[in-house]
Structure formats: structure tokens, C-alpha cells
Chain A
């Protein structure tokens, strides 16, 4: 019987790069309606874990399933279509395109673009794109009204903070079931970080069933937003639980502060 509370279930995941074990048999699951914090020192395998789940890396051993379906051998495109959408640590927008185009392209999977209609139903394709542009502006406006006003700027002209916001907007319009955020607050000041976390909490409330995994360095951020925390070190999961438990865990303190 499949546990229908579980959205993602990664079992015994191993990822080797030559002799290096980037992930060494980790077990992580994400529930529906949950914000999971994924923390750990640099190089502990957090981003590798995202790359494995989204199909960018082929894992060496183990199994990943999503809503009960085995996705271990699926391509990144198939996994995205199932509803796993991620952001990137160093933002990966389509930089020569406008902010608006970036968000519209996030809706690609909701479409079935056909060559036939771009020739013969061109007006319908255009008015459909215009409607999508409105939707994109609305979500940009929710995150930062400034972004909606400057939506014709090229993505490369944006400040780092706004790039991350656009990346999250682009991910949300893809209607994800599981959202993976890779250090969304890196480079933000405390006020901006708080704003972003409020936005993330708001998103979670409005989208029913959405699971979010968030990689973070900032412990105060994790303490405010994550309901459950998983700690990685050297490719292994060393702790799991709510933040107050994790904070007192001896192994976690050693990983972050060194042995006493």
C-alpha cells in the first residue's frame, strides 16, 4: 500500500563521481504540504541530491519514487512533467530573454505547442500568449511590484535578488507538486530574506498539497520556515527532525563548528 502522504521518497541513494562518494546511501522523504529544510556544510551533497532527483545526474545506486511512481531512470523532462520543479543555486534564467518571457516559458509544460497552430491559428496562439503574459505579470507583482513594472527588462539586467525571485515565479507558474529551492536567499540582506520567506509561506498556504524542499545556509531562515530538517554531511544524512532537536544534536554541531 502506497503511503499517500508521501510525495517524494528517495531510498538508499548513492552517487559516485569516480572515487568520490557525493551521496552515500541517503534516505529522504518529503510529505505533501510540508516544507523540508535541507542543511549541511559546503560540499555535503545537498545540490547533488537535487540534481539526482531532477534527473540531471544518473544515480549510481538506490531508488527515487514520486507519488508512488519510480522515477529513477526518467529524463529531466519527464520528471519535470510529473511536477518536480527546481531553482538553481547560481540562478539559471534564460538571460537574453525578458523577465516576462522567462515566466511565460515556465508555463511551457501546461501547453501542447503545435507547429500547425503557429502557422494556421496564429492569432489564437498570440492571444493565448497575451493571456499568459497577464498571468505572469500578476505573479511577478505578488513577489515584487517592481518586477512587474520592469517585466520587459532582460533577465541579465536584473540584480541577483530579483533573479532569484523571477526564478521562483517561473517555477510556480509551472504548477509544481514538489518545489526544490536551492539556496533561494543567498546574497539577500535580512529584510529581503524575511520577505522571501513570507512569500514562500504564503505560496504554501495557497497551493494545496505542494511540498517544498529548501536548501539553506542561514540557520535563522531554516528555523522560521522549515517544519522538518534533514542534515547532510559528507554525502550522508546525519540527522533528521524538527529544528529544536537538530540544534542540540551533537553530530550536527560538530559538522558545523568542528570537534570540540
Chain B
């Protein structure tokens, strides 16, 4: 197949995805949302049957990776322009990107190292509270709050990681659940965290002297501050994706996978388990901490609600839905699980139902996730495969 044609196929699918997302977010009508959702699911099922098509798409993603990623990035950059008249949708998009950051971090544990961690939402909360407290009580800037949150969440990553080293599988998950509840209850019951009232008045970050809370005029067009915030979060996500993919495609990713697949084999090849498991917790927690900071300064108010157990569950669900150990998959999972339920807010109770049913269907029919992980491919040096 010609390379140009491969690129065309890839771009076509990216445009299709963009169109679906834009239309889905544009419509207000509940029935229409259901319709679009059904169309998307239908397209996906049709695709799953056409193996040739899937193969071509897979080949396109492999051969034209750089080009397709760049085009995808461009599409995300223009995405908020479709919603200039509806700031709320931009807010939802920002939330999707923030959760994507936390989910990519969670995947270091779940996907790479095979440890199901139910405390990622708590880590997000810890990052959010750290920055909120620093900014409101000491009046420091967003950036110093961010650095503080990275350090504190990294430390808590070690604190969570240490007891889990002695445990495996279900027991490990139980330890993380206990951690999540202890963290939640502590913050809820301490005075200096604001207790159940939370912390209000978290300032918006400033970029080159511009506060992201107001809109700015560029050539007569008024750009809302939310949109600038969107780009700030997008920048963070892109940087962290680069970090994550470098980690996963170097020795660290390989050793993480070795620890996941067989610990005894790993030991017999000189791989020490403890440092690698700890690293996976530390990196994951730092990602969550950064997501938490971005969340706190977006909403301007933070309470234990943002680190409730449902958030932990939601993050785990994002990784499972998207596909473990696959960055692209996890991001798709995060975006879907933020965007889809938002549209079904009109019927609150069914929203949760839909979400639960989606998860059950995924685990039964496609446990590998929407975009399953692929094996690592190495470029040929000598030319023969």
C-alpha cells in the first residue's frame, strides 16, 4: 500500500473522530445525544468487523506516526474554537485533558507494572490541596504551587508505594483503597485543610503577566480566559505524554513489563523489584499531582469531593476502557468518560447506569480496552527483519 494512501486513511479517521466529538458536544437535545452516541458505537462495531480496514489503520498509525500525531494535535488545538459561544463546553474539555494526565500516570502502575491502584484520585486531591494551600495561605504564585505539589505528591507516592511492595494483586489493591480512605478522611477532618468547607479563592495562574481569568482581545476577537487555560493544560498534557512515552519505550518500560509479567523471572535476571515498583508509584503520583494543581486552579475551589472514591474509580475505569499500557488508549478512555456522562446530565440517575453498563460490557467483551497495547517495534539497522 502506498504511503500517501496510508496517511489519507489515518487523517480520515481522525477527522471522523473530531466530527463526532464536535457534533456530540454541540447538541443540547438528549435524544440527539443518544443518536450520535449510537452512531459512534455503530461505526466502531462496523470497523471491528472489517479486519482489512483495521489493519490498514494500524499500519497507518505505525508508518505515519509522527504526521498523524501532529495532525491530531492540530485538531485538538482548533477544538475550542468550535465552542466560543459556550464556555461550559470548553470547561468540560479542560476537565477531560486534566483527567487524561492523571490516567496516563495511573497507567504506569496498572498498565506497565500490573498493580491496580485505587488511590490515584486521592493523589490528585493531594496535589490540588498542596497548591491551593500554598497559594491561599502564603500567597505564592501558581508556578510555585505547582512545584510544591509535584514534590509533595512524589513523597506521597513513596508513602503509598512502600507498604504495597510487600503485597500483590488483590491485597495490593486493598492497601491502595485503605490509603485512599485515610487520605480522604484526614483532609475532611483536619482544620487547616478547611475540613468539609474546602478551600475557596484559589487564584488563576498568570502567564507572561496575563491572568487567565479574563478574556483578552487579539485582533478584535475576544479570546476567553478559559481558552487560554485550555492551552496551558494541553501543553502540560503534551509534555507529560512525551515523558511517559520516553519512559515506556526505554529500559524502564521494559523492566516494568518484566516485573508485571513474571516477578520470579525478573529476579533471576537481576531485576530488583522494589525500586522499579516505587518508581512507577512516584511517577504516577507526580502526574496525578500535576493534574490536581491544574484542577484546583481551574475551578478555584477545592473540597474533598474532588478526591472522593468515585474519582479513584473513574480513573481506573478510564485506563480499562482505553486500553492498559497504551498511552493513546488511556487518553481516549479519559476523554470519553468525561465527555459522554456530561451530555447525560439531564437524567442524572441514568447517567451512572450508562457508565456502569459501559464498564461491564467492556470487561466482558473487550477486556483489552478500545485500543489494545501493541508490541514494541524496533527499527531495523541492518535491513533484514
Contact = CB atoms under 8 A, between A and B. Distances in A.
B18 to A, nearest CB: 30
Interface residues of A, number: 45
A1 B247 CA distance: 48
Contacts of A13: none
Interface stretch (A34-42, A90-98, A206-214, A234-242): A90-98
B270 interface: yes
A179 to B, nearest CB: 12
Interface stretch (B180-188, B197-205, B374-382): B374-382
A96 B254 contact: no
B243 interface: yes
A56 B264 contact: yes
B349 interface: no
Contacts of B378: 100, 129-130, 133
A95 B265 CA distance: 11
Contacts of A96: 257, 260-261
A118 interface: yes
B265 to A, nearest CB: 4
A11 to B, nearest CB: 23
A256 interface: no
A71 to B, nearest CB: 14
Contacts of B385: 137, 149
A134 B257 contact: no
Q: Which of A56, A77, A95 has the most CB of B within 10 A?
A: A77
A93 B269 contact: no
B269 A174 contact: yes
If over half of A's interface residues share one DSSP class (helix, strand or loop), that class is named, otherwise mixed; here it is: helix
B272 interface: yes
A115 interface: yes
Nearest to B377: A152
B250 A129 contact: yes
Contacts of A170: 269
A118 B267 contact: no
Contacts of B270: 77, 80-81, 108-109, 174
A108 B255 contact: yes
Contact of A111 (B247, B251, B260, B375): B251
A118 B376 contact: no
A25 interface: no
Interface in B228-266: 243, 246-247, 249-252, 254-255, 257-258, 260-262, 264-266
Contact of B251 (A88, A113, A174): A113
Q: Which of B267, B279, B375, B381 has the most CB of A within 10 A?
A: B375
A105 B270 CA distance: 10
A46 interface: no
B220 to A, nearest CB: 42
A172 B255 CA distance: 18
B258 A94 contact: yes
B255 A76 contact: no
Contact of B269 (A101, A108, A134): A108
B269 A130 contact: no
B133 interface: no
A118 B279 CA distance: 14
A201 interface: no
A191 B66 CA distance: 47
Nearest to A113: B251
A119 interface: yes
Interface string A101-143: 1001110110101010111001001110111011001000000
B263 to A, nearest CB: 10
A81 B270 CA distance: 6
A122 B246 contact: yes
Contacts of A129: 250-251, 378
Nearest to B251: A113
7 contacts: A88-B264, A96-B257, A97-B261, A101-B376, A108-B269, A127-B381, A130-B379
Which 10 pairs, one residue from A and one from B, show the smallest C-beta to C-beta distance? Answer: A113-B251, A118-B250, A94-B261, A133-B378, A98-B375, A76-B267, A109-B270, A80-B270, A92-B265, A125-B250
Given A94-B265, A130-B378, 8 more contacts: A54-B268, A93-B262, A100-B376, A105-B258, A108-B251, A113-B255, A119-B243, A122-B250
Interface of B: 243, 246-247, 249-252, 254-255, 257-258, 260-262, 264-272, 279, 375-382, 385
Interface of A: 54, 56, 75-77, 80-81, 85-86, 88, 92-98, 100-101, 104-106, 108-109, 111, 113, 115, 117-119, 122, 125-127, 129-131, 133-134, 137, 149, 152, 154, 170, 174
